Chain A
Amino acid sequence: MEAKITIAVASGKGGTGKTTVSANLARAAAEAGYKATYLDCDVEEPNGHLFLKPHLERRYPVTIPVPLVDEQKCTGCGACGEICQFSAILCINKTVLTFEKMCHGCGGCKLVCPTGAITEQGREIGIIEEGQAGGLGFLHGRLNVGEAMSPPLIRAVRSAGQKSGGLVIVDVPPGTSCPVIAALRGANYVLLVTEPTPFGLNDLGLAIDVLKELGIPHGVVVNRSDPEFDHFARDFCREKGVRILVEIPDDRRVAEAYSRGELAYDALPEYRDSFRELLVSLEKEARK
């Protein structure tokens, strides 16, 4: 694969198997000789490394710019507090207070300050670690515990991943709000992992709505597929006009391998073909 293709693995609901699918897919790609990189954008709870067991070579902090006020230059005019939409800087009785954890790093206070009393300094919100897992490139972000804002770190992981060519597989956080949007940016195709349960399908519906809004092509993986419940998933996807690319059976051996930190691709060789086939159909879909 020469041209760069980014495939994101998302779900809406947590715990449906995003990491299982993305990590196995990444392993399948590397084994098949693709130049591939796995990007873990679930920076609040990154898990891909537990399965891919990368050799980490580089580690660096990610910061966001926050204001630093020079009291000598500050006249207490209050313009900074007025422009800030996030209650991160306040001016009370001509004294400026900053609340760094609230700051989104927009730079408005610095721009608006008439006396140049505000400069910016970096505040660490998390780290990025890069390495190799077999022939696979590996990259993940880890949000520092107690930090509220993950999107700037997710954007940093994504742009670090931009440098690698070939196939990029992105593990997306659960949900439908800003962290998900940040992780999905630039994806050519999104694989939605669901379970054939009411919770799984409800959240799949929300995720499909997000992708329609973003205009990114997408297809579904039904994980823990089960003859008792599968018709719910099939009916749902038919109604939504979304294709099911593969169904992964509810196999206790897969769950047990996962619990030990093993990839189904390695522990259960009979699953290799389904991940290889999924890879081929994804490549086809993503190039459309």
Chain B
Amino acid sequence: MKEIVVISGKGGTGKTSLVASLAALSETPVLADCDVDAADLHLVLEPRSRHTEDFSGGKSARIIPDKCSNCGKCFELCRFEAIIKDDSKQPVFSVDPIACEGCGVCSRFCPEKAIEFKPSINGQWFISDTRYGPMVHARLGIAEENSGKLVSLVRGQARKLAEEKGLPYIIVDGPPGIGCPVIASVTGSDGVLIITEPTVSGEHDLERVAELVRHFQIPAYLCINKYDLNPEMSERIEEKAVSGGIMVVGRIRYDRSVTRAQVKRIPVVEIDDSAAAEDIRKIWEALAAEINKNN
């Protein structure tokens, strides 16, 4: 079983559209949407949920008004600007649940034991069926933390499903950026497919994402979306990628059928006579051949 993670560095370069097409091309994969704070894969794959569970990534603090003596110790100790001081209220101090990092320092050092510190529900995760294969996805609550932990949970569940059913591929839709949820998405995977665009931002962000996959020693592959928007830039990016040890597996033409597919809620490879679809098929062939080489 091979786990392939699609990431981009820069957001909006076409990760989810590509993953939806790989879902259709890879024959009964397990799908995992690890972009847990702005998940979109479900909009195309229309999963039917068969298992839902709450996700608790950590604890959060709450001041019990009757016990609080307004001493201000919590306000003094909190390093996350999460204790709000409002002299017009009683008690004067309260916890801002959005800013609370869940460290528990306020609760531990409150002289009145007036701060409870309990597991909080930060989101939900789902196992669903799609017309291409099972899918694990999640929804992080509004303004919640711990997206890295939720990503690890989604990947773990996807792996379990693939093992149980003996399915050959896990295709992961990754988040943008290079921080906590991205690190949680790529570590220990079989390969990372980077999709970027031929712009100065795409080039800049690719350098950082390439450094990240090198840091974690994961085989990396590149495709450039809308490459014809700036062919010289595309070439420059590809050259840089190759010299950084990343293999180029294809290019995708700028094609309005990508947006039309999104509106129709189907993968672009299911649109007839689409140039982008043709390009994505070639990418999958090249990628699958490479991924199955390294055993």
Contact B37 A107 (CB under 8 A): no
Q: Given A50-B201, A146-B212, A259-B233 in contact, is the A45-B176 Cβ separation under 8 Å?
A: yes
CB-CB nearest in chain A for B233 = A259
Binary contact track A250-273/B, C-beta < 8 Å → 1, others 0: 001001101111000000000000
Shortest beta-carbon distance from B25 to chain A in Å:
20
Binary contact track B75-117/A, C-beta < 8 Å → 1, others 0: 0010111000000000000000011011111001100000000
Question: A92-100, A162-170, A172-180, A238-246: which lies at the B interface?
Answer: A172-180
A95 to B36, CA, bound (A): 37
Q: Does B289 contact A (CB under 8 A)?
A: no
B98 proximity list for chain A (CB < 8 A) = 181, 213-214
Contact A148 B180 (CB under 8 A): yes
Q: Given A13-B40, A145-B215, A198-B43 in contact, is the A85-B143 Cβ separation under 8 Å?
A: no
Shortest beta-carbon distance from B212 to chain A in Å:
5
Contact A197 B204 (CB under 8 A): no
Contact A146 B215 (CB under 8 A): yes
Q: Given A85-B59, A143-B179, A255-B229 in contact, is the A108-B108 Cβ separation under 8 Å?
A: yes
Q: Does B290 contact A (CB under 8 A)?
A: no
Binary contact track B172-194/A, C-beta < 8 Å → 1, others 0: 00011111111100000000000
B12 proximity list for chain A (CB < 8 A) = 13-16, 174
Binary contact track A45-78/B, C-beta < 8 Å → 1, others 0: 1010011000000000000000000000000000
B79: contacting residue among A107, A226, A255, CB under 8 A: A107
Number of chain B residues close to chain A: CB under 8 A: 61
Q: Does A12 contact B (CB under 8 A)?
A: yes
A149 to B197, CA, bound (A): 26
A146 proximity list for chain B (CB < 8 A) = 183, 211-212, 215
A100 to B200, CA, bound (A): 33
Tally of contacts, chain A with chain B, CB under 8 A? 187
Q: Does A276 contact B (CB under 8 A)?
A: no
B200 proximity list for chain A (CB < 8 A) = 47, 50-51, 258-261
Most buried by A among B8, B145, B201: B201
Contact A150 B143 (CB under 8 A): no
B238 proximity list for chain A (CB < 8 A) = none
CB-CB nearest in chain B for A207 = B38
Most buried by A among B38, B178, B212: B38
Q: Does B219 contact A (CB under 8 A)?
A: no
A179 to B178, CA, bound (A): 12
Contact A45 B230 (CB under 8 A): no
CB-CB nearest in chain B for A105 = B79
Shortest beta-carbon distance from B192 to chain A in Å:
14
Contact A145 B177 (CB under 8 A): no
Most buried by A among B108, B109, B176: B176
Contact A47 B103 (CB under 8 A): no
Q: Given A14-B12, A145-B211, A181-B99 in contact, is the A197-B229 Cβ separation under 8 Å?
A: no
Contact A176 B176 (CB under 8 A): no
The contact size tier of chain A is 35 or more
Q: Given A50-B204, A145-B215, A260-B230 in contact, is the A174-B199 Cβ separation under 8 Å?
A: no
B148 proximity list for chain A (CB < 8 A) = 148
A86 to B43, CA, bound (A): 34
Contact B208 A145 (CB under 8 A): yes
A177 to B59, CA, bound (A): 16
A252 to B199, CA, bound (A): 13
Q: Does A209 contact B (CB under 8 A)?
A: yes
B133 proximity list for chain A (CB < 8 A) = none
B99 proximity list for chain A (CB < 8 A) = 181, 185
Contact A210 B176 (CB under 8 A): no
A19: contacting residue among B13, B183, B201, B263, CB under 8 A: B201
Residues of B24-73 whose CB lies within 8 A of A: 36-38, 40, 43, 58-59
A155 to B79, CA, bound (A): 11
Most buried by B among A19, A145, A198: A145
A112 to B105, CA, bound (A): 9
Shortest beta-carbon distance from A185 to chain B in Å:
8
Q: Given A145-B208, A198-B263, A213-B143 in contact, is the A175-B103 Cβ separation under 8 Å?
A: no
A15: contacting residue among B11, B59, B105, CB under 8 A: B11
Contact A150 B180 (CB under 8 A): yes
Q: Given A14-B12, A145-B215 in contact, is the A210-B142 Cβ separation under 8 Å?
A: yes
CB-CB nearest in chain A for B260 = A228
Q: Given A47-B204, A83-B108, A206-B38 in contact, is the A175-B180 Cβ separation under 8 Å?
A: no
B201: contacting residue among A47, A108, A206, A214, CB under 8 A: A47
Contact B175 A45 (CB under 8 A): no
Q: Does B130 contact A (CB under 8 A)?
A: no
A198 to B145, CA, bound (A): 25
A125 to B228, CA, bound (A): 37
Contact B183 A106 (CB under 8 A): no
| Top 6 A-B pairs, shortest CB-CB distance | A14-B11, A15-B12, A106-B103, A44-B177, A261-B200, A148-B180
Q: Name 7 extra pairs, CB < 8 A, besides A14-B176, A106-B79, A175-B177.
A: A16-B11, A16-B12, A44-B178, A105-B79, A177-B36, A199-B16, A259-B199
Chain A to chain B contacts (Cβ below 8 Å), 5 pairs: A15-B176, A44-B179, A112-B108, A143-B178, A199-B43
